[in-house]
Amino acid sequence: MTRIAWAPLLAVAALLGAAQPAASEQAAVEFPQVPVPSPPKRSGLPAYVAMAAGVGLIVGSFPIASHANRTYDRYLAATDPDEIEHLYDETVAYDRLSSASLLGGEVLIATGLYLRFLRRPADARASLILGERRCALSWRF
């Protein structure tokens, strides 16, 4: 090639050589580390106690219902009017107690599940953030 043809190639090579180095060749710039606050630890003990009490009430409702059924069978076989009235009242009382125990246990289990998995911890109403270049006060109501 002639000298005239080499001149544009040298000009392009000089321009490319003077360009910025590739991103991989640039020195790594360190980003400032931003600490992420960890969520406050909260105890799951009230939730577990509620769920255990709920299971206990549900399990306890079955023997109560069984006693109500046995009392009802004795009510059906009774012939004395006073005993019939007493057995009927006892059957109704144990049946209601069994139902209340079962429903109460279900409510306690649902409450325990809510406390353990769904409820979010309450944030502080007022917080103060201090730093090198900032001072912020946050107040929620």
- Residue 132 phi/psi, 5-degree rounding, is -65, -40
Per-residue model confidence (pLDDT) at position 16: 66
- Say which residues have a Cβ less than 8 Å from residue 141's Cβ, sequence separation at least 6: 125
Taking 70 as the pLDDT cut, the residues of the chain under it are 1-5, 9, 14-28, 121-141
Per-residue model confidence (pLDDT) at position 134: 65
- Residue 136 phi/psi, 5-degree rounding, is -130, 140
Q: What is the pLDDT of residues 93-128, one digit of tens each?
A: 999 999 999 999 999 999 999 999 888 766 656 666
Residues in the chain: 141
Per-residue model confidence (pLDDT) at position 128: 64
Per-residue model confidence (pLDDT) at position 137: 62
